[in-house]
Chains A and B, each alone.
Chain A
Amino acid sequence: MCTYPLSKPFLLAILFIKEQLKEPVALLWIVISPAVTFYLLTYARVTGDELYRDYTSATSWFYAFISSSVALFGLAFYIVGRRESGFLRSFVYTKRTKITFLTGQFLAYSFMSVIYCSVFYVLTRGYFGSVALDEWMVIVGRFYMCFLLFSTPALLLTLVPIGFQNSNTLFSICSVAMLALGIGSLSASHPLFNVMGLFNPMGWANRIMLVGVTESAPVVAVVVGLIIVTGWLVFRFLLINPVWSRY
């Protein structure tokens, strides 16, 4: 009985996962669309060497983009949605319930990030050869770190008092801008791109996907530190009342 309060975030996470899996359109779109794009791009530029390209380097931008989508349109957008629908107003108005809600939400989307990563791996790995458990585990580890990296800006965006539609637009702009800036800086020589690239999480996520978690130890330390601070900030300043409401 005394473990019940501790188990609440896990039980809530199971309900959130159930809710997400009952709405498979988002799952399909976030994973299927990058997979389709991947195959289209590969088909368009296929050469003799392309088939022998390293899987990780061929897909790192895709994994980085999917992890940003899970953080922005899963973890963060659902917080905005739950606020704007009045769900938070109905249930989450004490410190204890805030902790339960935020932990449950974070656990649910941590799990979902692994699902998204795994589905994309299965969909694309076959093109380069057979799937391998040890490789999958390495990729999932890197992907989860990317998810944590994007969770910081995504969670901070939930503190902006804007409604559902505007949040959607803002998240889309951030997502596309990060991707465009990241890929654009690859071939750009202007120093401004290098400076902007330093502050672009997509570039850092791509690097984590390429070189690994332990090899990116300083970046990982910053990511973990930031997510802890962000968690406290969101707990402290979480908007409860819908923005559309006069309350």
Chain B
Amino acid sequence: MKRLIVDALDVRYAQHVLFNNAELVVESGSISGLLGPNGSGKTTFFDVICGLKKRSGGEIHRLFSKLLYLSQIIATPPVFRMFDVFNMMMLFCSDTPITQRHALEKIEKWSPGIAERYCEIWKKKSSLCSYGEKRCFFTLSLLSVNADLVILDEPTAGVDPEFRYHIWRCLEGAAAEGVAVLVSSHNVDEIVTHCDDFYMLSQRRFNRFTDAEGFMSRYGGSTLDEAFIHAASLPGN
């Protein structure tokens, strides 16, 4: 089985320690969530995996052949329609030509009913699309590429409930076909509900959980959000 193994990761900025001996594993065919307060280093961690930031110590073993990463920042040339954006995205992300039909077949199979809204966005001018529409369009389009590791930085931020539903259905569909998904979010509930396992970034480490009870019990909260707040306020964060 293919795995992403992060072993004893150290990341430092000048005097600031972001990760200290942090460990995390993502396996093919599963969705792993990543929780953490703002500024805790989730995006930096993704940058480290993608080779955009250097680590101070530790090892990252990436046994996957094709990694795709959707960053928080999504910028599209405003004069383009979204099908141009799609074509541009595929030039960077896919090793083989991907058409709208190919993308629709995949995402409609994973989440029936999404095709209509996807096609509406397809024809829209980029400058007229909302942030949520762009995020959804990017996420679903990326999932249609044949990647075996997909990293998504808050894909559901600013996305309406319908699109959010379809995004998670598609993530689950992709995972069922063997894709490894690492996804961050500030919505604790959706991470706990949809992920096979999830990590809380607290005290410069990744703490692994598989269910809500374990998470709430570890951090002494009666709700998920309360547990998150306790985890985020621990000394060393």
Task: Tell me the A residues contacting B by CB distance below 8 Å.
Answer: 1, 4-5, 8, 11-12, 15, 18-19, 22-23, 82, 85-87, 89-94, 97, 100-101, 104, 240-242, 245, 247
Contacts and interface: CB of A to CB of B under 8 A. Distances in A.
Contact of A15 (B50, B53, B87): B87
Given A4-B97, A85-B75, A93 B87 contact: no
A4 B73 contact: no
A5 B96 CA distance: 8
A19 B80 contact: yes
A121 to B, nearest CB: 27
Given A22-B79, A86-B74, A247-B43, A8 B52 contact: no
7 contacts: A1-B96, A15-B87, A82-B75, A90-B74, A90-B138, A92-B92, A93-B69
Contacts of B70: 90
Specify which of B53, B88, B93 lies most central, judged by the most chain A CB atoms within 10 Å of its CB. Answer: B88
Given A86-B74, A90-B71, A93-B69, A101 B92 contact: yes
Interface in B87-113: 87-89, 91-93, 95-97
B47 interface: yes
A18 B84 CA distance: 10
B73 A90 contact: yes
Contacts of A8: 91
B57 interface: no
A240 B75 CA distance: 13
Interface range for B: 20 to 34
Given A247-B43, A247-B47, A100 B75 contact: no
A240 B52 contact: yes
Closest A-B pairs by Cβ, 5 of them = A86-B73, A86-B75, A85-B75, A22-B79, A91-B92
A163 to B, nearest CB: 15
Given A86-B74, A89-B73, A90-B71, A100 B92 contact: yes
A112 to B, nearest CB: 15
B152 to A, nearest CB: 12
Contact of B92 (A22, A86, A97): A97
B15 to A, nearest CB: 16
A240 B89 CA distance: 16
Contact of B91 (A11, A18, A85, A86): A11
A225 to B, nearest CB: 30
A245 B88 contact: no
Nearest to A86: B73
Interface string B18-49: 00000000000000000000000001100100
B77 interface: yes
B51 interface: yes
Contacts of A93: 50-52, 69
Contact of B95 (A5, A85, A87, A89): A5
A82 B92 CA distance: 14
A86 B87 contact: no
Interface in B155-194: none
A69 to B, nearest CB: 21
Given A22-B80, A91-B89, 6 more contacts: A11-B91, A19-B79, A23-B79, A90-B73, A94-B50, A94-B51
Contacts of B93: 91
A46 B73 CA distance: 55
A91 B79 contact: no
Nearest to B93: A91
Contacts of A4: 95-97
Contacts of B95: 4-5
A74 B139 CA distance: 30
A245 B74 CA distance: 13
B97 A86 contact: no
